[in-house]
Structure 1
Amino acid sequence: MKNKWYEVLESSLLFSDMSKENILNMVACLNPKEKSYTKGEIVAHLGEKMEGFGLLLQGSLSVLKENIDGNRLIMNILKPGELFGEMAVYSEKRVWPATISAVESSIVLFIKPEKIVAGCERACSYHQQLTTNMLKILSDKAMSLNKQVEYLSIKGMREKLCTYIWEQHKKQGSLLIHLPMKRNEMADFLNVSRPSMSRELCKMRDEGLIDFYLSTVKIVDPQQIAEYVK
């Protein structure tokens, strides 16, 4: 494992509360497999057998699913340091629950689940911290999935946009927010058409609710935005 990945590993929740030395030793103990992908390349197919879960080192990945109408939905955009497949890999079937695609050139570490829960050959004192971190990650992910179901159930275009914008405002702590997705990715994520979404954003701007430029959105009337959020 290259030391140049240390900052990314340190930012990952999997290695929370661990020193640099412990992180590098822990990675050596996990013996992960490093793989590189080009833009647009499929990292994992829905229903494909899993060998391990992934940790993104470089680039970005999209998590894709199709709804009952056959429309593609972007469930998430993964950034360096984030995990994917960590819930499904511990299930009985152990298959990928979604298709993972490289948004740009990306590098991924694949870790076998047994390495997390099984006893460490080196009897690492910090392995227990790693296991604790994974349990926290799985618990938080289960809670967020419940929220995502509620989010996808929102029917109105404006309600969806306001909810998304308001959630980004709360995450970033500012009325001037940076959208983490491109317009087409955001439309897929919200399960709406891009032209309709663009028209609604323009209406919201004309009505004085927001202003925007490229991927930056300014909440002009937070009270009105909040009223659309359920």
Structure 2
Amino acid sequence: MLLELSTTIKHYEQGSYICTQNQDFNKIGIVLKGKVMCSRTCLCHNATFSHILKMYETFGEDLVCAGHDSLPYDVIALENTTLLFIKVKDLLLLGHPYSPYINKFLINLLSLIANRHLISTEQIEYTRIPSLKRRVAAFLLNQYEQTGQLLFTTSLSRCEMASYLSVTRPALSKVLSELKKEEIIDYYKDSFKIQNLDKLMQL
């Protein structure tokens, strides 16, 4: 399929900006190696929304369907990263019946955009909770509902979890420590155990 498209592979060092907010951008970026963060600052609410992308995850796909030609967020390499870029124009022009691989790619792309929208909506809902303790509780309860288990492991590191909830890492660590002292939860790294579900729900 890549032979049918105009693609570019680029390498970025840790901490470097891949793209900046409002920069012209007409590609889809795929993480081949490393990890990147998409971050957008909302001045009217004085909040920063961010999303961590790992290997084989993408960015810029929202621009494909929206028809925009500039990024609404910064893209930063969190570690040494290799990216594959696919030109949007070529992708759309090649979506023909005689190209089944491209058609399948477009279907998967639409599914990805829909799922990403659900995640973004969920993140916004968290930021609307004024109490940090309740915000963390809501996140943990959501993880519990998704897994059906009181003991679960999140896909986010502590730093990523703080970014996802739009709080600082020290503030998040303080709340988690308080919940642990109150014997509502226990945790180790990215693993959590809800010890008192009723109390957690009442926060």
Q: Secondary structure at the match of 1:81?
A: coil
Cα distance, 1:193 vs structure 2:
3.3
1:1-230 map, 5 Å: 26-68=1-43, 73-119=48-94, 123-172=98-147, 174-228=149-203
Cα distance, 1:189 vs structure 2:
2.7
Cα distance, 1:227 vs structure 2:
4.0
Task: Tell whether the 8 Å contact from 2:95 to 2:102 is kept in structure 1 after alignment.
Answer: yes
Q: Secondary structure at the match of 2:85?
A: strand
Task: Tell whether the 8 Å contact from 1:116 to 1:130 is kept in structure 2 after alignment.
Answer: no
> Which residue number corresponds to residue 19 of structure 1?
none
1:140 & 1:214 partners in 2: Cα distance? 26
Assess, with a 3 A threshold, how the Cα gap between structure 1 residues 44 and 72 changes in structure 2: closer, same or farther: farther
- Alignment TM-score, normalising by the size of structure 2: 0.85
- How many pairs are equivalent? 203
1:57 & 1:187 partners in 2: Cα distance? 25
Cα distance, 1:115 vs structure 2:
3.0
Task: Tell whether the 8 Å contact from 1:210 to 1:220 is kept in structure 2 after alignment.
Answer: yes
2:51 & 2:40 partners in 1: Cα distance? 10
Q: Residues 149-177 of structure 1: CA distance to partner in whole angstroms, max 9, x if unpaired? A: 22221111111111222333444554333
Task: Give the root-mean-square deviation of aligned CA atoms.
Answer: 2.6
> Which residue number corresponds to residue 15 of structure 1?
none
* Structure 1 unaligned regions, length at least 5: 1-25
Identity %: 25
Task: Tell whether the 8 Å contact from 2:95 to 2:103 is kept in structure 1 after alignment.
Answer: no
1:172 & 1:57 partners in 2: Cα distance? 28
